Amino acid sequence: MAGFGRTTDWLRNIQAHPAVEITLGRHHFTPVHRILNEPDAAAVLADYEHRNHLITPIVRRVLSRLVGWTYDGTDDARRRLVRELPIIAFRPTPDR
C-alpha cells in the first residue's frame, strides 16, 4: 500500500522505472507490478483485515491517521481508502 498516497516518490519511481529486484527474506526476484483496481484492492484489504483480526483495530487507527478521516472497515470506507491509498501487487517476472 502506498501509505502516503498516489504522489509518493517510491510509487512514482516504480511507475517511471520498474523495480530491478525485490528481496523477501532470502528470496530475490525481478518483479512486475500493477496498481490494483478498486475492487481488487478492496478485496485484498478485506482479506488482510480478516486474516489479521487481532491487529485490525491498530491497522484501522493507523490508516485513519494516514487519510485524515475515520476508517471503520465498512465496504464504503474500504473503497474510499483504496482510492486514496493505492495497493500495488508485485509478482516475479515470468521465466523466459
Tens-binned pLDDT, residue by residue, of the chain (96 aa) = 999 998 999 899 988 988 788 898 998 999 999 999 999 999 999 999 999 999 999 999 999 999 999 999 999 999 999 999 999 999 998 864
pTM listed for this prediction: 0.85
Distances (CA, A) of 77 to 33, 39, 60, 70, 73: 25, 13, 11, 8, 6
Residue 8 grid cell: 509518493
Residue 46 and residue 48: Cα distance in Å, rounded?
A: 5
**pLDDT score at 79:** 98
Residue 38 and residue 33: Cα distance in Å, rounded?
A: 16
Residue 46 grid cell: 478485506
